[in-house]
Structure 1
Amino acid sequence: MTTMEKSVTVDVPVHEVYDQWTQFESFPKFMEGVEEVRQLDDTHLHWKAQIAGVEREWDAEIVDQTPDERITWRATGGAKNDGTVSFAPVEGGKCTRVTLRMDFEPEGFAEKAGDMLHIVQSRVGGDLDRFKDFIEHAGSATGGWRGEVKPGDVDRGGLGSMGTTGTTGTTGMTGTTGPGSPGNAGFEDMSGRGLDDGTMPPV
C-alpha cells in the first residue's frame, strides 16, 4: 500500500473550488491518465484510467462529503484507491488550500516499478497543479453539488438508497446542476446531475 499526500493553494475562494471538484466527470480534463469518470448516482463513480501504461477500471463510493470541507471515497471494485480531498480557506478566504491524500495499491510489475520511482506521487502533484490552472482560468465553478454524505449513510447494498442529505443541486455557470458534468437549466437526469452541454472552458 502506498500513501501519498499533496497540497496546492488555489487563488479562488473555497466555495468555487469545492463546487468544481464535485464535477467528477470533468476530471479527465486535468487528471493525467484518467480517460473517463462516470457518475452513477450521488455517491457512486466508475473510473477508467491508464496507470503505468496499464488500463484499469474501478468503482468508487463517496462515504463522507461535507460542502467546502472534504470529500472521502473508497474503491468498491477494481484497483485499490481510497482517499480524501480537503479544502481550507486561506489568505482571508480569497484562496483555498486543497490537500489530496490517497492510498493506492499497485498491482503487477509495471505498477510496482512505477510506484518505486514515485511516478504515481508525481502524477498526483501534477493533477493538483492542473486543477489549480483549470479553476483559476475559469474564475468560477462550471457547476456544483451542495449535498452532504455522512459516514454510515451510504447504502452498502448497491445503488438503491443514496444516503445523502442536504440540497440536491446548486446554480452553476450554465444552469442548475448536481454532481457530474455542467448542465443546462431544466435538463437534468434522474440523479439530479446536469447534462453536459459542452461549454467547459478551456484549460
Structure 2
Amino acid sequence: MSSVEESVEVEVPVTTAYNQWTQFEQFPQFMEGVERIEQRTPTLTHWVTSVDGARREFDAQITEQIPDERVAWTTVAGEVRQAGVVTFHRLGATRTKVMLQLEHDPQGIADTVADKLGFVRRQAKGDLGRFKTYIESRGTADGAWRGQV
C-alpha cells in the first residue's frame, strides 16, 4: 500500500466545502481523469476513470460521514484498491482547510512505476487545487447530503 496526504485551504465556510464534497457526481468538474461517478445509494458510488488511456471502473463505499467534519470511503469492487478520508477544518467564518489522506494499492507495473514517480500525489494535489478554484468561483455548493454514516 502507498499513502498520500495533501491539503488545501479554501475561501468558503466549512459547510459550503463539505456540502460540495458530498456531491460525488460533480467530481469530474474538478478531478482530472474522472469521467463519471454514479451515486447508486446514499453510501455507494460507481466510478469510471481514464488516466493515460487506462480506463478503470470501481465501486466505493462510504464508511463514515459526519457533516462538516469528514467523509471516509473504501473501494469494494473493481480494478482499483484504495481507502481514504477527507476532513474539513474550520479556520474562520469563511476559510476551511480540506485534508485528503489516501491509501492505495498500485496494480501492475505501470501503476507501481507511476506511484514511485509521485503521480498519485501530484494528481491529488492538482485535484484539490481544482476543487479550490471550483468552489471559490461558485461561492456556493451544487447541493448537499447531510446524512451521517
Normalising by the residue count of structure 2, what TM-score does the alignment of the two structures yield? Answer: 0.96
Deviation at 1:54, TM superposition (A): 1.5
Is 1:89 paired with 2:93? Answer: no
- Provide the C-alpha distance between the structure 2 equivalents of 1:93 and 1:47, rounded to a whole number of angstroms: 33
2:114 maps to which residue?
A: 114
Count of aligned residue pairs for this structure pair = 148
- Provide the C-alpha distance between the structure 1 equivalents of 2:12 and 2:143, rounded to a whole number of angstroms: 15
Higher RCO, Cα 8 Å, sep 6+:
2
- 1:51–1:111 Cα contact (<8 Å) kept: no
- Provide the C-alpha distance between the structure 1 equivalents of 2:146 and 2:7, rounded to a whole number of angstroms: 23
Deviations along 1:116-164, one digit per CA (max 9) or x if unpaired, are: 1101110000000000000000011111111111xxxxxxxxxxxxxxx
Deviation at 1:51, TM superposition (A): 3.7
- 1:52–1:110 Cα contact (<8 Å) kept: no
Deviation at 1:52, TM superposition (A): 4.8
Gaps of 5+ in 1: 150-203
**1:7-18 residue pairs with structure 2 within 5 A?**
7-18=7-18
Deviation at 1:81, TM superposition (A): 1.5
Gaps of 5+ in 2: none
1:193 maps to which residue?
A: none
- 1:52–1:114 Cα contact (<8 Å) kept: no
- 1:52–1:111 Cα contact (<8 Å) kept: no
- Provide the C-alpha distance between the structure 2 equivalents of 1:106 and 1:53, rounded to a whole number of angstroms: 16
2:76 maps to which residue?
A: 76
**1:129-168 residue pairs with structure 2 within 5 A?**
129-149=129-149
Larger Rg belongs to: 1
> What is the aligned-residue RMSD (CA, Å)?
0.9
1:123 maps to which residue?
A: 123
Deviation at 1:94, TM superposition (A): 1.7
Q: From the two aligned structures, give the one with the greater helix fraction.
A: 2
Q: Residue 131 of structure 2: SS of its match in structure 1?
A: helix
Please list every run of at least 4 consecutive aligned residues from structure 1 whose deviation after the TM superposition is greater than 6 angstroms: none
Q: Residue 41 of structure 2: SS of its match in structure 1?
A: coil
- 1:37–1:45 Cα contact (<8 Å) kept: yes
- Provide the C-alpha distance between the structure 1 equivalents of 2:94 and 2:27, rounded to a whole number of angstroms: 24
1:104 maps to which residue?
A: 104
- 1:53–1:110 Cα contact (<8 Å) kept: no
Share of identical aligned residues, percent? 46
Is 1:3 paired with 2:3? Answer: yes
Q: Residue 148 of structure 1: SS of its match in structure 2?
A: coil
Question: Which residue identity does 2:119 align to in structure 1?
Answer: I
- Provide the C-alpha distance between the structure 1 equivalents of 2:50 and 2:81, rounded to a whole number of angstroms: 14
Q: From the two aligned structures, give the one with the greater strand fraction.
A: 2
Q: Residue 142 of structure 2: SS of its match in structure 1?
A: coil
Normalising by the residue count of structure 1, what TM-score does the alignment of the two structures yield? Answer: 0.71
- How has the CA–CA distance of structure 1 residues 4 and 52 changed in structure 2, closer, same or farther, with 3 Å as cutoff? farther
- 1:7–1:97 Cα contact (<8 Å) kept: yes
